[in-house]
Structures are given as C-alpha cells and as structure tokens.
Amino acid sequence: MTTSRWSLGVACLLAGCQPLQLFEEPKTATVSSNPFGLHESRRAGKVNYQPADEALALKVDSVGRKLLAANQELGLKTTLFAAIGNTPRPEIFHTGPRMVWVTDGLVRRCATEGELAAVLALELGKIVADREAAATPQMRDPDRLPPIQVPIGNAGHVTNPDLVHQVELANFEKERPKKRRPLPRPDPQHLARGYLEKAGYRAADLDTVQPLLQAAEQNLTLERQFNGMVMPDPWTR
C-alpha cells in the first residue's frame, strides 16, 4: 500500500469508517461460455467488477441460500449469489446455472427482504427455464414403461400369440404416443411464485417488484460484458 493510501487509512480510522471498504480492490471474474452444455463453445474471458459492501453482499447471499434450501428439487445447490457494487442502475442476470449477479442499485431499491427474495426467485426461475429449454424432449418428457399389469410372455406357449398382451400394449401406446409436441418453455414467473411460497415468502411480492424488474430488464450493460458465461469465481482477484 502506498504512503498516500496509508494516510487515507489512518484518517478513515480516526473518522470511524471501515477501511476494508475503502481499500476494496476491483475483482476479476473468469468466465467462459457454453453454460448448459450446448455444442457452441468460445474461449474464456475476464470481467472486472467492483464488489458490493460486505453487509449488502451477505444479505443477498442469505436470501439466495434460503430460497435454495427450501427448493432443493431445483438441483441448484451449488449456485452462488454475487452483488456488484458501485452500480446504481438496477440489473440482475445469471451466467449459467451456477451464478446469479445482482447490482447493489437493485438490492437497495428492494424495500423488504421479501421483495429481494422475489427478484432472486425470478432469476432462479429463468435458470430453470433455460435449462429445460436446452434439454432434449426425451429428457424433459421421457417415455413411461408399460404398467406392471400388462401381461408379459405367453405362459410358456411361445408358438401362440398373446392377444391380451398385444391389446394392452396397443392401448398403452395409444394413450402415450411416442411422437409428441415439444413441451413449452416453463414460465419463470410461475416458477418463482412457487419458490417464494416454499421458502416462506409471499408470492405477491413478485407483483410488487414488477416495475423494478422491468427497469432492470432495460439495463443490459453488465450482462453483455459477462456475455452469458458460466461459473465465474466472485472471490478471485
């Protein structure tokens, strides 16, 4: 640390402020594309960002952890929540299934913890919707096995056709044809409401923050910088 920064640190301590925040360095997130295992692949890159202050970052992480703990069926237990500091404009986005980024400007505009939970829950809903859209139709809606009551075999008489078995299989295939229309992409708004209720928050908070979310959708600066890439490490300097 230079002499001038030592002087600022002493002055800060005398004034009663937190020198940790004063000397917080910009961090570098290492990002790469191909977030959901798609065929397209690009080279990894680095994005510099200013971390939010500790109290705000812990608040975002706490609410995010609470949502994930109550919705373990999402399979997102390794997802991290990072708050970007010194960014007054509201913005939130995800880089693959394991990272949610939110600006301190958006967090500060949330009047309650429930509103912050609604903002994060919607982004989790978008992650799940993206994951489902990237999955193959067979993965999203696999064929069911025939019910156990369908007669199998022919009671040892291999020369005679088992007509009951054939009729039962024909009825099953009629009810469950193999060629089906692809399932629509899940609605993130609908998913988010369920996530909120399971975590003990009000689904109505999602309606309250709609104007804030609409404003955030207009800001794509940081999301374009990160370029929708996967698994940055928010603690890498």
Q: What pLDDT, on a 0 to 100 scale, did the predictor assign at position 176?
A: 66
For the chain, how many residues are written? 237
Q: Which H helix or E strand runs over 48?
A: strand 45-49
DSSP 8-state symbol, 32 = B
Residue with structure tokens 């999402």? 74
C-alpha distances (whole Å) from 80 to each of 19, 83, 131, 146 are 26, 10, 17, 41
Q: What pLDDT, on a 0 to 100 scale, did the predictor assign at position 34?
A: 40
The residue ranges of the chain whose pLDDT is under 50 are 1-3, 5-6, 8, 10, 13-14, 18-24, 31-44, 155-156, 229-237
Q: What pLDDT, on a 0 to 100 scale, did the predictor assign at position 37?
A: 41
C-alpha distances (whole Å) from 207 to each of 30, 120, 128 are 34, 13, 20
Count Cβ atoms below 10 Å from residue 150 Cβ, excluding itself: 14
Q: What pLDDT, on a 0 to 100 scale, did the predictor assign at position 26?
A: 65
Residue 177 near residue 196, CB atoms below 8 Å: no
Residue 108 near residue 119, CB atoms below 8 Å: no
Q: What pLDDT, on a 0 to 100 scale, did the predictor assign at position 153?
A: 52
Q: What pLDDT, on a 0 to 100 scale, did the predictor assign at position 23?
A: 39
The Cα 121–Cα 187 span in angstroms is 12
Which amino acid is it at 139? M
Q: What pLDDT, on a 0 to 100 scale, did the predictor assign at position 179?
A: 57
The Cα 41–Cα 50 span in angstroms is 27
Helices (H) and strands (E) in the chain, counts: 11, 5
Q: What pLDDT, on a 0 to 100 scale, did the predictor assign at position 93?
A: 95
Q: What pLDDT, on a 0 to 100 scale, did the predictor assign at position 40?
A: 38
Q: What pLDDT, on a 0 to 100 scale, did the predictor assign at position 32?
A: 43
